[in-house]
Amino acid sequence: MTLGETTHPLPRPFLVLATQNPIEQEGTYPLPEAQVDRFMLKLSITYPTREEELEILDRVAFTDLPEPAAVVTPEQMIEAQQAVRTVYVDERVKKYIVGLVHCTRRPGEFGLKLEGLIRFGASPRASIYLTKAAQAFAFLRHRAYVTPEDVKAIGPDVLRHRILLSYEAEAEGIGVEEIVRQVFDAVEAP
């Protein structure tokens, strides 16, 4: 981490999590697009179902919260990260990933009529993170290879904060989730 002109090394592994509450923005400031692009994923968490909220109520309101305990060591995390990097990505899957990202920049080439709705498509960092996220997704499913379904499953979380919509899209009520869905529908999976 660099503060001013001084760099402070951080322990490995290191993880940054950030939260964004769409209701209360006071005291928080939107990050510039270049900084937002550095986050690998953007998860969209909605309200819980009635059943889930009842379970939350039972777990939190009527019992003491358990003390968190480490389940893995930092060394085990680093080993897992190294193992994820070995998950095989076929050339056809790589081309599929690049096609998805390219489609966010030039949707017309893929038959999508989104002219004027996307101000900026996803950067090359999206291809990198989409590949890494798909490798991790496959790893967590005990597979040594990535499938197009892995890319589809994790893709919205990688792309949703990397596509900047135009004012026209906002005025027409077209959200980034809809654009991402159209991109995945338009690009043929291997």
State the average pLDDT over residues 22-49.
77
The CATH number of whichever domain residue 156 belongs to comes to 1.10.8.80
Q: What's residue 134's pLDDT? A: 98
Tell me: cis bond preceding 9? Omega within 30 of 0 counts. Answer: no
First-last CA distance in the chain = 40
For 42-81, the pLDDT digits (tens) are 888 888 999 999 999 988 888 887 888 999 999 999 999 9
Is the pLDDT score of 137 beyond 80?
yes
Q: Highest mean pLDDT range out of 15-29, 79-93, 170-184?
A: 79-93
Which domain, by its residues, includes 15? 2-186
Q: What's residue 25's pLDDT? A: 60
Lowest mean pLDDT across 53-67, 99-113, 119-133: 53-67
Helices (H), the chain: 33-36, 50-61, 74-85, 91-105, 124-140, 148-159, 167-171, 176-186
**Number of domains into which the chain is organized:** 1
For 152-161, the pLDDT digits (tens) are 999 999 999 9
